[in-house]
Amino acid sequence: MDRIIITGGRRLEGRLPISGAKNAALTLLPCALLTDEPLTLRNLPRLADVDAFGHLLNQMGVSTTIEGASPADFGRVMTLRANRVTSTVAPYDIVRKMRASILVLGPLVARAGEATVSLPGGCAIGNRPIDLHLKALEALGAEIELAAGYVKAVAPGGRLPGGDFTFPVVSVGATENAVMAAVLASGRSVLDNAAREPEIVDLCRCLVAMGARIGGIGDSRLVIDGVKKLYGATYKVMADRIEAGSYACAAAMTGGALDLIGACADEMRATIAALVEAGIHVEELPDGLRVAANGPIRPLTLSTAPYPGFATDMQAQFMALLALAEGSSVLTETIFENRYMHVPELARMGADIRVSGRTAVVAGVDRLHGAQVMATDLRASMSLIIAGLAAEGETHVARIYHLDRGYERLEEKLQAVGAAIERAGGD
List active site positions. 123
Amino acid at 1: M
CA-to-CA distance for 201 and 406, rounded, in angstroms?
20
- Torsion 96-98-104-106 (CA) sign: positive
Q: How far is CA 121 from the centre of its chain?
A: 15
CA-to-CA distance for 383 and 381, rounded, in angstroms?
5
State which H helix or E strand residue 117 sits in.
strand 114-118
- Biggest alpha carbon–alpha carbon distance for the chain: 66
CA-to-CA distance for 301 and 213, rounded, in angstroms?
41
Q: Are 91 and 64 in contact (CB under 8 A)?
A: no
Q: How far is CA 342 from the centre of its chain?
A: 18
Amino acid at 251: A
Q: Are 337 and 127 in contact (CB under 8 A)?
A: yes
